[in-house]
């Protein structure tokens, strides 16, 4: 049903989804249920993918982007494989279509910058899909540390080897979420990276221990791998006044505060919302499109997180000892 004739312009946004894999099918499902949105359809070259998305979202499907554009769209979400983001995003921008690009913004920092520059020139809204920011538990942690003097952040994001593996390792697939969260929590840039990577069973790195320092002096640590038999997602933030712990899967957030000289302290559970993160993200994107606002996650932020992730992959590990080997027992620290 078209809403073109019956409503004022822009009241009903015509939106399409490019890429009908697991993520794209979810985008279509959520968009199909949003008020004030007409889901024009999904684009994917694979008939099997198109069939799945059509079934999930009860919408039309197209083999090519041109077929979708011919139907008339105001905005799209791009959930195609990362190596296609650059080409697809530039094609949409050239047609003045607003876009949400799934994380990471592109395969390389240079491609990401080109997308950002093209969107700015065309005056279209560009938002990056760092969906974890819209996790209600993450929002509760962010709220709890507002105005606090942050000292350190530790994030764990681990799980089993993913069945749908693309051509990237854990840093680009998983840690890029947490690099974005560290920048968002601290509202500061990351200025130092110290990565330790290992390829235990996969071709690309499947274990990463990443340490960072932000310009504001916060120390941060990400532990991520594909070797854990179950999924775990947790965030802890230490500030001068409190210690905040968030489980991003169970969505429980706990705060320790009121530290006394005798070692005692108070503890409380914080209220956490129930929104589906993807729904909250898509609503934020459509609001930015409708109102011409700066989106919640800008292209520049998407590029900055990709740049740090890329640095983690390119920084060589330094050997621990440069001095001659000592004889006798070594003191063990800690």
Give the pLDDT confidence of 306-323 residue by residue, as tens digits.
999 999 999 877 777 655
For residue 184, pLDDT beyond 60: yes
Q: Which tops the pLDDT comparison, 67 or 334?
A: 67
Does 67 score more than 50 pLDDT?
Answer: yes
User: Tens of pLDDT along 30-47?
Assistant: 999 999 999 999 999 999
60 to 13, 69, 70, 110, 187: CA distances (angstroms): 16, 13, 13, 34, 41
Handedness of CA 42, 91, 129, 204 (dihedral sign): positive
pLDDT at 2: 39
pLDDT in tens, 234-255: 999 999 999 999 999 999 999 9
Confidence grade of residue 3 (pLDDT, cut at 50, 70, 90): very low
What is the C-alpha to C-alpha distance for residues 152 and 155, in angstroms, rounded to an integer? 10
The reported pLDDT for the residue numbered 167 is 77
Average pLDDT, the chain: 92
* Per-residue three-class SS string for the chain: CCCCCCCCCCCCEEEEEECCCHHHHHHHHHHHCCCCEEEEEEECCCHHHHHHHHHHHCCCEECCHHHHHHHCCCEEEECCCHHHHHHHHHHHHHCCCEEEEECCCCCCHHHHHHHHHHHHHHCCCEEEECHHHHCHHHHHHHHHCCCCCEEEEEEEEECCCCCCCCCCCHHHHHHHHHHHHHHHHHCCCEEEEEEEEECCCCCCCCEEEEEEEECCCCEEEEEEECCCCCCEEEEEEEECCEEEEEECCCCEEEEEECCCCCCCCEEEECCCCCCCHHHHHHHHHHHHHHHCCCCCCEHHHHHHHHHHHHHHHHCCCCCCCCCCCCCCCCCCCC
Q: What is the mean pLDDT of residues 281-297?
A: 97
* pLDDT range class, residue 326, cuts 50, 70, 90: low
Give tens-digit pLDDT for 120-157. 999 999 999 999 999 999 999 999 999 999 999 999 99
Q: What separation in angstroms does the CA of 236 have from each of 167, 299, 318?
A: 30, 27, 28
């Amino acid at each position: 049903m078209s809403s073109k004739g019956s409503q004022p312009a822009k009241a009903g946004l015509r939106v399409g989804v490019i890429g009908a894999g697991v993520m794209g099918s979810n985008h279509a499902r959520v968009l199909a249920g949003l008020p004030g949105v007409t889901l024009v359809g999904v684009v994917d070259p694979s008939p099997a993918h198109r069939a799945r998305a059509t079934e999930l979202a009860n919408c039309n499907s197209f083999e090519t982007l041109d077929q979708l554009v011919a139907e008339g769209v105001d905005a799209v979400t791009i959930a195609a494989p990362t190596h296609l983001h650059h080409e697809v995003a530039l094609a949409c921008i050239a047609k003045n279509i607003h876009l949400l690009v799934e994380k990471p913004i592109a395969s390389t920092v240079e491609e990401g910058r080109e997308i950002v520059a093209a969107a700015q020139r065309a005056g279209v809204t560009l938002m990056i899909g760092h969906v974890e920011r819209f996790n209600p538990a993450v929002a509760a942690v962010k709220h709890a540390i507002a105005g606090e003097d942050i000292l350190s952040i530790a994030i764990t994001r681990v799980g089993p080897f993913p069945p749908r593996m693309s051509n990237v390792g854990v840093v680009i697939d998983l840690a890029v979420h947490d690099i974005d969260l560290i920048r968002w929590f601290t509202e500061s840039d990351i200025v130092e990276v110290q990565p330790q990577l290992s390829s235990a069973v996969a071709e690309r790195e499947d274990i990463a221990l990443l340490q960072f320092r932000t310009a504001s002096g916060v120390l941060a640590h990400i532990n991520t791998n594909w070797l854990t038999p179950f999924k775990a997602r947790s965030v802890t933030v230490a500030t001068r006044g409190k210690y905040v712990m968030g489980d991003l899967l169970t969505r429980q957030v706990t705060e320790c505060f009121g530290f006394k000289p005798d070692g005692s302290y108070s503890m409380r559970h914080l209220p956490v919302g129930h929104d589906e993160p993807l729904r909250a993200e898509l609503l934020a994107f459509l609001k930015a499109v409708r109102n011409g606002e700066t989106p919640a996650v800008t292209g520049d932020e998407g590029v900055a997180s990709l740049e740090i992730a890329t640095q983690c992959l390119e920084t060589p590990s330094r050997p621990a000892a440069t001095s001659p080997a000592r004889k006798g027992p070594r003191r063990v620290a800690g």
